[in-house]
A and B are shown apart, each in its own frame.
Chain A
């Protein structure tokens, strides 16, 4: 169990590293920023931007009183400048908040039920009063971060987090949000407090328009490297998998890989067991028949050749030299090649397993009257199989990964599909990483299955 957790952790770490590498890659690939902005320039830019946003009287007063002082500039990503600022502002919220409920309810009462004024009317009515209040608000200072972002085609954009913007405006944004949510006013009628439901929100709207600055909370959509990375990733994803139904190519490749692995695996196991059986029988018996000697010789040559040459060479020879002239298709050639290849490794693994079973087991089986074959089948093989299961599983995982070599003969497996997409879209990252992830998931799944099986087998003996 802990082994598997380790594997998953490892996979996660690898993925994170890949992601980090990708972020770096995309950051470097993106354009450059004007890095020559000085602190003074930044300060001027920020103050001008802020002043320019004040459209109503209360806000103009606020902007006059406010001052943004840039302490230092920091380079974020390639397109970002982070300004560390000290803001001198007024506590507008503290001044107005205790009053606004009363303020609005008085207005509501004055109107009675007749709601025919627009929000704009109310705004104009409130403006003077609120300007006075803002002007009388006490000063306060706070540190915030403001970002300057170089859009490159549309100049510089200033943005910040909502909370920082709220600080800049002395808490008026928070207040606007509170007013927006109001559903009742408290009305004092003949000394009795009474909650009155708001019939129209034009009063509120007017109030909000008066104090709330117009600013967009939408940050430049590629503001940070992560966001840019995400967007590029999305674009890349769409290009590599969605357009032209390219995901189907991957899916078909995956199917071929799975089919190839399963078929090769079956051939490998059968072949491996036969070879191991021949070799063990030869080793165990003192007298050998001619047939057994010949089989043993063949097995030895087979093992030497298969294990002594690279699998790439084997598949090229099997397909281009032997099967292509005969008109056999690539899939069959690959199945035979990987079957033969894995058979050799399985044989040695199984032979080790058979040898590890105590001779006493064979003797006990034989003494009960089982023949050599039956003893092998009922008594030795099950024990040998259990002993070599981890090694066999490892061989299967290797085989699954190794089938990607079928790429060399142009078989349309998973690897081939990934590469085909890469060739079509000129982007290597997505398709190849996708292929890697799919292989990884299959390998992890297989390992998990084997560990479950192993556990079950182990429980049997306890």
Chain B
């Protein structure tokens, strides 16, 4: 089922400057294979969120190339909207649509973009909601949900588009501590099901358990990458060691 050899995202020499002065990304090369779970860690301001957001062009990189399933998505001729449909994204602030019910949040994109019928979209949405234990909240509005519930809905909203990759931008950072677990559990399950995932997080426990590969970034460049064991047990770079000393 999982073809680990197929490269799904390839980033080459990616640069991003804000206002011509701040160098958020300074030549990043990443490759993500199908079914792989990549966790990006690093101190704040290290460019890890910028990198993740560049992957679906929410940030426009200033230089370099990003290939998604072999297509250069930085090429202005590429239909970026089509590409984004295959890349689910989960945000720190959930970003659920407050004027729609949970169900509508989940069905609007499949109905409008994938041209699914209402019944089909709702069936799929309800199935997914059930897997995260929120089937009974289908008709609630986001303001009626707790933080953890919102984030779980945000995850399944992205899954409704049946993406090939899921991007998580600090999905648990805005949550109360007791709600972190329920979200990580969903992500665990997703990883176990073979979803390709790129995750920016500060949850080192999650990184250690779930990640296939960990990328440590600092000052807009990748300092070190490797398996969790390599990074956590035997970090080679001084900056990695220092960072891990602080967070562990």
Q: Are both chains from one complex?
A: yes
Listed in ascending order, the chain A residues whose CB lies under 8 Å from chain B are 286, 358, 360-361, 363-371, 374, 378-379, 382-383, 386, 460-462
Inter-chain contact A369/B85, CB cutoff 8 Å: yes
Stretch binding the partner chain, chosen from B105-113, B181-189, B204-212, B233-241: B105-113
B95's contact among A361, A378, A462, by CB below 8 Å, is which? A361
Chain B residues lying within 8 Å of A369, measured Cβ to Cβ, are 81-82, 84-85, 109, 113, 161
Q: Can you name 17 A-B residue pairings with CB atoms under 8 Å?
A: A286-B60, A358-B93, A363-B58, A363-B89, A363-B95, A364-B95, A366-B58, A367-B158, A367-B167, A368-B157, A369-B82, A369-B113, A370-B81, A378-B112, A382-B99, A461-B98, A462-B143
Known: A367-B89, A369-B82. A361 touches B56 (CB 8 A): no
* B residues 70-85 touching A (CB-CB < 8 Å): 81-82, 84-85
- Knowing that A368-B113, A368-B158, A371-B81 touch, tell me 15 more A-B residue pairs with CB under 8 angstroms: A360-B91, A361-B97, A363-B89, A363-B91, A363-B95, A364-B91, A364-B97, A367-B56, A367-B84, A367-B158, A368-B109, A369-B81, A369-B85, A383-B97, A383-B99
- Give chain A nearest CB distance to B8 CB in angstroms: 17
Is B87 interfacial (CB-CB < 8 Å)?
A: yes
Is B117 interfacial (CB-CB < 8 Å)?
A: no
Known: A367-B58, A368-B161, A378-B108. A460 touches B81 (CB 8 A): no
- Give chain A nearest CB distance to B52 CB in angstroms: 11
Say what secondary structure dominates the interface of chain A: helix
* Inter-chain contact total with CB atoms closer than 8 Å: 68
Chain B residues lying within 8 Å of A364, measured Cβ to Cβ, are 89, 91, 95-97, 154
Tell me the complex Cα distance, A460–B109, Å.
20
Tell me the complex Cα distance, A367–B95, Å.
11
Chain A residues lying within 8 Å of B81, measured Cβ to Cβ, are 366, 369-371
Inter-chain contact A386/B99, CB cutoff 8 Å: yes
Chain B residues lying within 8 Å of A365, measured Cβ to Cβ, are 97
Listed in ascending order, the chain B residues whose CB lies under 8 Å from chain A are 56, 58, 60, 81-82, 84-85, 87-89, 91, 93, 95-99, 108-109, 112-113, 141, 143-144, 154, 157-158, 161, 167
Known: A367-B87, A369-B82, A369-B85. A374 touches B95 (CB 8 A): no
Tell me the complex Cα distance, A383–B100, Å.
10
Tell me the complex Cα distance, A66–B29, Å.
121
Known: A461-B143, A462-B144. A370 touches B58 (CB 8 A): no
Inter-chain contact A462/B84, CB cutoff 8 Å: no
Chain A residues lying within 8 Å of B84, measured Cβ to Cβ, are 366-369
Inter-chain contact B99/A460, CB cutoff 8 Å: yes
Tell me the complex Cα distance, A370–B143, Å.
23
Residue of B nearest to A377 (CB): B112
Tell me the complex Cα distance, A34–B37, Å.
106
Chain B residues lying within 8 Å of A374, measured Cβ to Cβ, are 112
B109's contact among A286, A370, A383, A386, by CB below 8 Å, is which? A370
Inter-chain contact A370/B112, CB cutoff 8 Å: yes
